[in-house]
Structure 1
């Protein structure tokens, strides 16, 4: 059975996409720890990050760096935190989370709630920053 992320890639489930290439996708987490919390995935479904082939793994890391650079331009934060937990969805993914302190990465904290309009506005801000980054 396809993961929820594979269903997003296939267009079966909507997502607030912020960046996409032929091999990778970045979209807003709908249960975020902070405004702009992004999930970065390979389009190819592989359960664990370290089971990715080397080319996909390095491509995912470079793609995540590009997305994080755009996020940092438009989201109020000191850093973009990076974490891989991999238990909640059986599809390799990286969390990019705007943070001001280490406790901002605490996944036991209550998740934030945003309206569809707020999610869309945040996604558009990040997309615009990425377009500026690309030149």
Structure 2
């Protein structure tokens, strides 16, 4: 069964896309823990990030890194944190999280965002790429 992320890649579920290429996709988390919380995934469905071969893993990290300057510009913060947890969706993914304090990295606390706000944030990030 395809993961929710594979359904996003295939266009079956809408998302607020930030960037994509042939291998990877970055989009806003629909249930963010901070404004601008972005997910970066391989388009190929792989459950565990450490099951990616070394070259694909490195390309995923470089793709994620390429999003950071635009994310910092669109969502002012002290820094962008990166987290790889991998339990919530069986598809490898990296969280890019704008941080001002350690509280911003609390995955048990979601923030409320409207679809319109997510669309605006995504457009602002894309404008910086």
TM-score range, shorter chain: over 0.9
Runs of 4+ in 1 over 6 A off after TM superposition: none
State the Cα deviation string for residues 50-104 of structure 1 (Å, max 9, x = none): 1001121001000000011210112120000100110000000000000011221
1:89-123 deviation line (CA, Å, top 9, x unaligned): 000000000001122101122x1111111110000
Q: For residues 48 and 68 of structure 1, what CA distance do their matches in structure 2 show?
A: 23
Q: Normalising by structure 1, what TM-score?
A: 0.93
| Structure 1, gaps ≥5 residues long | 131-135
Kindly tell me the number of residue pairs found equivalent between the two proteins.
Answer: 129
**Could you tell me which residue of structure 2 aligns to residue 17 of structure 1?**
17
Map residues 108-119 of structure 1 onto 2, 5 A cutoff.
108-109=108-109, 111-119=110-118
Q: Taking structure 2 as the reference length, what is the TM-score of the superposition?
A: 0.97
1:28 aligns with 2:28: yes
Give the structure 2 partner of residue 7 of structure 1: 7
> RMSD in angstroms over aligned alpha carbons?
0.7
Distance 1:18 1:3 in 2: 20
